[in-house]
Structures are given as C-alpha cells and as structure tokens.
Amino acid sequence: MLSYDGTAYAGWQVQPTLPTVQGLLVAVARKLLGPATRVTGASRTDAGVHALRQVASLTTEATLPPAAVMGALNAALPPDIRIAGAAEADAGFNARRAAVGKRYAYLIDNRPVASPLLRHYAWHVGRPLDAGAMRQALVGLRGRHDFSAFCASAGRDASAMCDVRALHVLRGRHRLAILISADRYLHHMVRTIVGSLVAVGRGAREPAWLGEVLRSRDRTRAGPTAPAHGLTLLRVLY
C-alpha cells in the first residue's frame, strides 16, 4: 500500500518521457531488488491526482522480507511517495484484477478567497454552493448505469456500465467533499460528475438535470471536467 502527492507526476502509469509514480517506483525497485521486478497498480490515477491508499503488487526475485522491502524503497523514493504498508501476497496476485471497488474523494475549497494551503489538493470555487441541491442531484446516479455521459474518452473502455454504490456530499464551513464508491470508473468519470455537480450547486442547473444527463449517454450534455488536483484515491476494496 502506498500514498503519494500527485502534483509532480503525469499520473500513475509508466510513460516513456514523463515522470509517473509507477515509473519512478519501478526504477527504484529494480535498482534495489533486481531488473526482473514488476509493479502493477490497482488504479491508474491521472496526472495531478493524489492517493491515500493506492495498492500495488510488486513481483521480485529478491528474498527480502516485506518490512525490509518497504524500508529500502522509502529510503530511496522522494518524500512525495511513501510505501505505507507491505505484506506477502498469494502467488499470482494482481492488485488491479483482484480489486472489487475503489473509493475516491474530491475536495472543493469554497471560501471566497482561495486558501494557499489547499492549492494542490482542492478546486477553488469562490461562489457559494448549495450542498442540499448537490445531494439531491446525486440520487439518480446511485446504482448500476451506463456512465457514458461522464466519460472523457468514449470507447476507451470495453463497457460503460458502472455500479456506483455510494455518493455523498459533506459540507464544512469553507469546504465540500464529494465521496464516491464504485466497482469501476470510466476515464475522468469522477471529475466530470463533480464538474456537473458544481453547476447544480451554483444554481445554473436544477438537481434533476444530472439524471437527465446520465440517461442521455451524451458527454456534451454534462458539465466541465473538474481539475485533477482536487481528486484523491482513498481506498481500494478487495
């Protein structure tokens, strides 16, 4: 299990010319544990997205115990990536294929003047947001549906069907957190839902509109894609 601040990275997945979390982890692990070492992540987070409890399966020919592997990796990795826990897994375990769901949180800084301390972790929306209307709008999104209307890249996934098990809007004095738990996600799905929700919260759309967008399966009818830096992978479910 690992945590990372995604600000400096072009996402999780290895890219030939850009720094990524997986790319750096593989490079460090192969240097320490041998060139045959492989790393598979449970979630392919996008550029700028953070993770609190990402899960990765590391396959290596080295015979070090998990605690020693964790210590060695943390000593070599930069401070914005940390291995938070390590344990032996069954032979053939794949962190991505074994996952049955993931939980994400999206944070909104809703004060009139943006907090400089949240600039890398929350989307600043300076206008007041109606959390009650946003909660009402989410009702129709719960359950198993075709989420094509909230997908940035139509046809990228074999199926657009996702089972959204939980959706919540939590309101603090100056912050809102949108929590979502689902079995799988389409490209930019959470961020497009959040961008659409903000349109409802600002009063530009009625709560019922979000359900209409879902049923349309048309991405052009949804709201904008919220910025990546407000999104955090909270947990992978097994």
pLDDT tens by residue, 31-44: 999 999 999 999 99
In angstroms, how far is the first alpha carbon of the chain from the final one?
A: 13
Judge whether 46 counts as a catalytic residue: yes
Pull the structure tokens for residue 133: 């209307």
Strand 2-4 and strand 101-109: the pairing is unpaired
**Domain ranges in the chain?**
2-97, 100-237
Among the four given CATH numbers 3.40.50.2000, 2.30.30.100, 3.40.50.720, 3.30.70.660, the one describing domain 100-237: 3.30.70.660
- Is the Cβ–Cβ distance between 150 and 168 less than 8 Å? no
What pLDDT digit, counting tens, does each position of 131-164 carry? Answer: 999 999 999 999 999 999 999 876 566 799 999 9
Host H or E run for residue 31: helix 21-33
- Residue 154 neighbours by CB distance under 10 Å: 14
How far from chain centre, in Å, is Cα 96? 14
Write out residues in the chain with pLDDT < 70, as ranges.
154-157
| C-alpha to C-alpha distance for 165 and 139, rounded to whole angstroms | 11
Q: For the domain 2-97, what is the CATH code?
A: 3.30.70.580
pLDDT in tens, 11-31: 999 999 999 999 999 999 999
Which pLDDT belongs to residue 157? 66
Tokens 């997205």, residue? Answer: 49
Sign of CA dihedral 49, 53, 55, 56: positive
Single out the residue of 139, 130, 150, 234 nearest to residue 193, CA to CA: 150
Note the pLDDT of residue 91: 85
According to DSSP, the residues that pair with 82 across neighbouring strands are 3
Q: Please tell me the predicted confidence (pLDDT) of residue 92.
A: 85
* Main-chain phi, psi angles of 167, to 5 degrees: -145, 125
Hey, what are 189's tokens?
Answer: 């799905």
Backbone angles phi and psi of 74, in degrees to 5: -65, -30
pLDDT of 221: 96
Of 5, 46, 130, 163, the catalytic one is 46
Secondary structure class of 185 (helix, strand, coil): coil
